Amino acid sequence: MSVPERRGGSGSGFAAGHLADNPLPPGIVGALGIAGYQLLVDVAGVGAGRLGSHAFLLVAPDPDPALPDAGTQISLHHGRLREEAELAAFTQLAAQLGLMRLSGYRLALERSGLRSKVAVVDPSSGAIALTIPERYPGRLFGGDATAPRLLARLRTLPAAGPPPDTQSPELLHEVLLALALRDESVSGAEAVELADRALEAFKRDPSLDPPRALEAAKGES
């Protein structure tokens, strides 16, 4: 398994396209019956995958030079996807987690069989702001752990630190992609194209912040 070069500085420690270069291990996808899954979004080492009725989050652990690379892991595995709206929530949840990681939050993974729980950790306090379970809850006992409810709770959390360095084109593109995916009407492919145009708009006018750069890109479509 290849490991892309790590970036320094604030925000994500993952090169763009990390999950595409570091997919789930063959043993896991074989055992769970998701070999050949489609990667729908890839932001700061967080993504959403889909194969047939299966939907799930993919998360690369935060880099730790003291430990070997644990590889990409699967969380919130849903094996009975019934509506496309549920899939959209997975995509937006992955983008929001990536955006939070870019703002400074840490994602701590805990193995639970073939899957993993994800703790969203505020580094300023060390407190766990939210825990994402390894499996999607059933309809009768779902509680607050459905993708839409987790997404809503994540969006109420403040940024853990200052905005990522927009002087890095790669990092800025990750932020723009995550913001573009917050729009339910924008598909993954469309979000990438929108982020590309927004990055060009930012290069033409560095005074733009990421949201305004996205609005400028939408005006070009």
187 pLDDT higher than 80 = no
Return the pLDDT at 183: 80
Full-model pTM: 0.86
pLDDT at 185 over 50: yes
Q: Answer for the pair 120, 129: CB distance below 8 angstroms, yes or no.
A: yes
Mean pLDDT of 183-200: 86
pLDDT (0 to 100) of residue 137: 83
Report pLDDT digits (tens) over 126-183: 999 999 999 988 765 556 788 999 999 999 998 887 766 777 888 888 889 999 988 8
Among 27-36, 155-164, 208-217, whose mean pLDDT is lowest?
155-164
For residues 8 and 170, give the distance between their C-alpha atoms in angstroms, rounded to a whole number.
12
Q: Are 198 and 176 in contact (CB under 8 A)?
A: yes
Q: How far apart are CA 103 and CA 90, in angstroms?
A: 20
Backbone torsions φ then ψ of 29, nearest 5 degrees:
-65, -30
∠ CA 26-189-109, nearest 5°, is 40
Instruction: Give the whole-angstrom CA distance, residue 219 versus residue 204.
Output: 15
pLDDT band per the 50, 70, 90 thresholds, residue 6:
very low
In the chain, how long is the greatest CA-to-CA distance? 52
Q: How many Å from the N-terminal Cα to the C-terminal Cα in the chain?
A: 38
- Tens of pLDDT, residue by residue over 65-118, are 777 778 999 999 999 988 887 888 999 999 999 999 988 899 999 999 999 999
pLDDT at 34: 96
Q: What is the pLDDT of residues 35-68, one digit of tens each?
A: 999 999 999 999 999 999 999 999 999 877 777 7
Q: Computed from CA positions of residues 153, 156, 162, 166, in that sequence, does the dihedral angle turn out positive or negative?
A: positive
Q: Is the pLDDT of residue 203 over 80?
A: yes
Q: Give the per-residue pLDDT at 140.
A: 56
Q: Are 29 and 35 in contact (CB under 8 A)?
A: yes
Whether the predicted pLDDT of 220 surpasses 80: no
Quote the pLDDT of residue 163.
67
The DSSP string of 99-159 is: HHHHHT-EEEEEEETTEEEEEEE-TTT--EEEEE-SBPPPSTT-TT-SHHHHHHHHHTSPP
Our CA dihedral for 81, 83, 87, 93, rounded to 10 degrees, sits at -100
Specify the higher pLDDT residue, 126 or 14: 126
For 81-85, which contacts have Cβ atoms below 8 Å and span 24 or more sequence positions? 81/50, 81/52, 81/53, 81/54, 81/55, 82/53
Beta carbons of 19 and 39 less than 8 angstroms apart: yes
